[in-house]
Structure 1
């Protein structure tokens, strides 16, 4: 990972709202409005952090169907299990262990065919 990417991920993980989004959604996927309440942040702040987390592939957007109203809600879930920082011979190395469920692997397999 480049120095710029390491700084971007470290900056996100340093941000209290981004950390709150990751920890809250690790229990269950949440919508932006649920995150606004849970994280005690404004709507624009939540959306900015979600965008930054998506840019670094640290969170994923999912669709939650509403069986009663027929509408769908966008919810967010973390796309990582572990972030590891290693110092080796004067260089920092960052490794992100991302989540990937069976449906994602199947979709990727089909797209590669």
Structure 2
């Protein structure tokens, strides 16, 4: 029971954080770099990276490498969180995250499967 309650506390605490919320909202449409998120959220890049790390631990955002017009590459992040369900059970609370799979992630997985055959 303690593990379930800890997970509920961790996820609800993360989602209660203003910066984490804004990162999810900002990346819900188009992928954004940490620098873009820093500007959009009005916080330091270090703060953005810390929140991104925590969001990635729960698969709420994905990371991809994007090539710019100059041939440089940088990481971009996209929200995958669709829904959070917290349920009261006889043992306490449980949390379930509903995640959506992005087309790029599906394509990457397809390429890996084909390559590994």
TM-score by length of 2: 0.82
Equivalents in 1 of 2:29, 2:61: separation in Å? 13
Relative contact order (C-alpha < 8 Å, sep 6+): which is higher? 2
- Report Cα offsets for 1:29-65 as digits up to 9, x if no partner: 1000000010011111111111111112211111112
Which of the residues 94, 106, 110 maps onto 1:106? Answer: 110
Match of 2:31? 29
Distance in 1 (alpha carbons) for counterparts of 2:40 and 2:94 = 33
Deviation larger for 69-78 or 97-106: 97-106
Q: 1:61 aligns with which of 56, 60, 63?
A: 63
Paired position in structure 2 for 1:91: 92
For 2:81, what is the secondary structure of its paired residue?
A: coil
Question: How big is the shift at 1:89?
Answer: 3.5
Hey, what's the Cα distance between the residues in 2 that align with 1:40 and 1:107? 37
Q: Which moved more, 1:89-98 or 1:29-38?
A: 89-98
> Structure 2: which 5+ residue stretches go unaligned?
none
Structure 2 residue aligned with 1:42: 44
Contact 2:87-2:95 within 8 A present in 1 as well: yes
Aligned length: 112
TM-score w.r.t. structure 1 length? 0.84
CA-atom RMSD in angstroms: 2.3
Answer whether contact 2:4 2:93 (CA < 8 A) is retained: no
